[in-house]
Structure 1
Amino acid sequence: MAWRSQLGKTALASAAVLLTMTVGACSRPATQSTADTAGSGPVRIAVGIDASYAPFFVADKKGLFKDAGLNVQLVQFGRGGEAVDALATGQVQIAGSSDTTTIQQLQQNPSLRAMYAYEASGRYIKVVLRNGVESAAEVKTMGIVPGLSQISTNKYLEANGVSPDSVKMVTATPNDMPALLGRGDIDGYVMWEPWPAAALSQGTGHVVARTGDFDWFYHHWAITTQPWLSANDATARKVAQVLDKATQLVESDPKLAATATESAVNVAQDQTVTAVDEIDFAVENLAPGDIDAAQSVVDFYRKIGVMTVQPDLKSTMLVDWYKKSAQ
């Protein structure tokens, strides 16, 4: 795929937008049980509340997990870091997460493992500026979510000749961004949908760029932990095969993806149809070049002091794992 060569030129990134509640319920994720750790309980998969998680919603709606003999529960999280923390505590066993979020958590949880990628795009994440602010040179304050949003913001500013150190960064949740923009508390943000669309619908901001415009591409990983994977390898491979089928369905039938996503997370169908056009959905192996790309994310985190040690990326990123499972 085209994005694979593009990622070789830039740091690998992807988004994981996540909210703590089980799909179809309003409770927090259940606590870990001994049975879950042993693999006899349901497989809880952390997903997000936007259209980029459409393959999971399609797999659930179409009964693909059940057809594969899997007992799967989708669990939503509002921030990627929360989903990764839930992996560490056993509240979920697999998560859809950005490489930036996963890498950031490696210092606290070196047992995290990235099994494969299932999507990438240089069009889905957009730069939104407040009405009246037309360029990066005019920006004084940016809203950021730690992880993908933060590094994407830095990439945008640097690509336009603006030092990130000269801009005040306001940390907030994705939900907060449109309101902060509307009040004039921030001049902009770099976020995935539906947050750019929210600013447009409220009439408070406008899209000035997409990450691909400044050679920056995000990538979603399916991640787990080494202890769970060692005990449940066959289950993890079945999940990968189901997700492979689901990504193909998303690409071939955007309307199906839109219906499933609306049912799961109440995202307007037209937003999902647009997202399918903007995102390349496909289950793909991680390759050696992806490790090099991920290293640039590590370098960024070490530069800003978020990470103090070099993680073992070769252990974290399971190169060619899915190809072996499919043969």
Structure 2
Amino acid sequence: MKKVFMCVMLAVLLAMTGGLGGCGGQDSAAGDKKTVRIGVVPLPHYADAWVAYKKGFLAEELQKSGYELDWHTIALGPVVSEAFAAGEIDMGVMGDFPAFIGRSAGTNFCITSVASTAPEALALIVRPDSPVKSMADLKGKKVATTKAAYGQKLLALLVEQAGMKMEDISFISLSMPDLAAALARGDIDAGVVWDPILTKLESSGEARVVADGTGLYDAYAVWMATDELAKNDMEAVRAVMRARQKGVEYMQEHPEEASRLLLEEINLPSEQFAIMLKKFSYEQEMTDKFYQDMQDTEEFMYSNGLLKGKVDVNAFIVKP
């Protein structure tokens, strides 16, 4: 009888302290803040996010909504995709092309807002002494960019605009550093490059811009979140958006201080950085035009064999 009594008392004590069932444990954990892991590359494309981080806006807005910030500086864009695939980050930034490539490969993430647009930061360039004045002058010539990156889309659009087909040029896929070197040697006649290398080559007199993305392609970078975060913690996404808006406002109101903060992270000459920064818009809204542009990008990538399978754009984009 004594043994039974002791067992009953133990059960009561365990229930009171949350040792039986899940309710007690969930209640005590409810007060704990969830951690949101964010990975961002130090580039002008994401200047608003960097200012928001450096000024504490990100941590502040997340804390207001019950979350803790875990910031990850990621050196290279492709590593962001790898970090998502490995389950190492919950939110991050990348170009629209790697976003679609990741989704088609099975990475469980979605687009939650525009990170930046910069049609002038993506351009077709030639050597300064080149006789080329337009895309039409490159018929039969060697033109390079990086395959499966957004430069390929601008090149295709420029070719189409000139009334040509891709078969009318000799397309070569090169990385940005290799493209710059090939252009300098005269191994190629032109190339599509993007910032920061675009401004570097143009400002140093090593290249001349023939055409950029203005009126053709907005050169999107996008904010991504895991499907799990978007489904269960959309308030965290909204908190990041609010912090980014504070970052934009701070850049507008304190341009010199914002530039100083950015140059602490973004390793570029200050003169070139100032030129680049003027090219970018950090408007977050996903407009009807954005949806259509993403649909066009998906169709372009799929028809050119850059995706493993079709991507449902409407399901891929999730509005906060």
The TM-score range, normalised by the shorter chain, is 0.7 to 0.9
What is the letter of the counterpart of residue 53 of structure 1?
A: Y
CA contact (8 A) 2:298 2:313 kept: no
Structure 2 counterpart SS, 1:307? coil
State the partner residue of 1:290.
290
1:227-266 equivalence runs, <5 A: 227-266=228-267
Q: CA, structure 1 residues 251+123, in 2 after alignment: closer, same or farther (shift >3 Å)?
A: farther
3-state secondary structure, aligned to 2:246: helix
Corresponding residue SS for 2:158? helix
Task: Report the RMSD for the aligned CA atoms in angstroms.
Answer: 2.6
Counterpart in 2 of 1:137?
Answer: 136
Give the fraction of aligned pairs with identical amino acids, expressed as a percent: 17
TM-score (norm 2): 0.77
* Structure-2 separation of matches of 1:203 and 1:270: 14
> Out of 193, 196, 199, which is 1:197 matched to?
199
* Contact 1:178–1:198, Cα closer than 8 Å, also in 2: no
Local SS of the residue matching 2:282: strand
Contact 1:110/1:311, CA 8 A, preserved across alignment: no
**Alignment: residue pair count:** 279
| C-alpha distance 179-290 of structure 1, shift in aligned 2 (>3 A) | same
Q: Which residue of 1 aligns with 2:278?
A: 277
Per-residue deviation, 1:199: 1.8
Superposition deviation, residue 308 in structure 1: 5.3
Q: Secondary structure at the match of 2:220?
A: strand
The AA in structure 1 aligned to 2:262 is T
Q: CA deviation at 1:215?
A: 2.4
Q: CA deviation at 1:110?
A: 5.4
Q: What SS does the aligned partner of 2:40 have?
A: strand
Q: Which residue of 2 aligns with 1:124?
A: 121
1:149-188 alignment, distance < 5 Å: 149-188=151-190
Q: What amino acid sits opposite 1:301 in the alignment?
A: M
Q: Give the CA deviation at 1:41.
A: 5.0
Q: Secondary structure at the match of 1:200?
A: helix
CA contact (8 A) 1:56 1:246 kept: yes
Residue number in structure 2 paired with 1:55: 48
- CA offsets 1:45-79 (integer angstroms, 9 cap, x no match): 232x4322211221122122233334232322434
Going from structure 1 to structure 2, the CA distance change for 1:292 and 1:227 (only over 3 Å counts) comes to same
Distance apart, 1:93 and its partner CA = 2.1
- Which whole-Å deviations, capped at 9, do the CAs of 1:136-169 have from their partners, x for residues lacking one? 2343222322221111121122222332223233
Which secondary structure state, in structure 2, belongs to the residue aligned with residue 109 of structure 1?
coil
Deviation at 1:242, TM superposition (A): 0.8
Cα separation, 2, equivalents of 1:316 and 1:236: 15
1:114, distance to aligned residue in structure 2 (A): 0.6
Tell me the secondary structure at the aligned position of residue 95 of structure 1.
strand
Q: Distance in 2 between matches of 1:162 and 1:261?
A: 41
Q: Using the TM superposition, give the Cα deviation of residue 231 of structure 1 relative to its aligned residue in structure 2, in angstroms.
A: 4.4
User: CA contact under 8 A between 1:211 and 1:217: conserved in structure 2?
Assistant: yes
Amino acid at match of 2:296: S
Q: Partner letter of residue 195 of structure 2?
A: E
Corresponding residue number in structure 2 for 1:75:
73
- Cα distance between partner residues in 2 of 1:204 and 1:221: 30
Amino acid at match of 1:137: A
Distance 1:191 1:54 in 2: 20
Matching residue's letter, 2:173 = T
Q: Deviations over 1:21-51 (max 9, x none)?
A: xxxxxxxxxxxxxxxxxx955613232x432
CA contact (8 A) 1:248 1:282 kept: no
Deviations 1:248-299 (A, max 9, x none): 2224443233222211022223333323322222222x24553332111121
Offset of residue 99 of structure 1: 2.1
Report the structure number with the largest CA radius of gyration: 2
Alignment check: 8 A CA contact 1:200 1:206 kept: yes
Aligned to 1:43: 37
Q: What is residue 311 of structure 1 aligned with on the other side?
A: 311
* Aligned counterparts of 1:143 and 1:263: Cα–Cα separation in 2: 33
Q: SS in structure 1 opposite 2:278?
A: helix
Equivalent residue of 1:92, what SS? coil
Identify if the C-alpha distance between structure 1 residues 207 and 82 changes in structure 2 by more than 3 Å, giving closer, same or farther. Answer: same
Partner of 1:178: helix, strand, or coil?
Answer: helix
TM-score by length of 1: 0.76
Please tell me whether the aligned partners of residues 118 and 247 of structure 1 are also in contact (alpha carbons under 8 angstroms).
no
288 and 209 in structure 1: CA distance in 2 versus 1, 3 angstrom threshold: closer
Secondary structure, in 3 states, of the residue corresponding to 1:185? coil
Q: Say if 1:44 and 1:91, in contact at 8 Å, map to a contact too.
A: no
Structure 1 residues 251 and 186, CA, compared in 2 at 3 Å: closer, same or farther? Answer: farther
Query: Aligned letter for 2:223?
Result: A
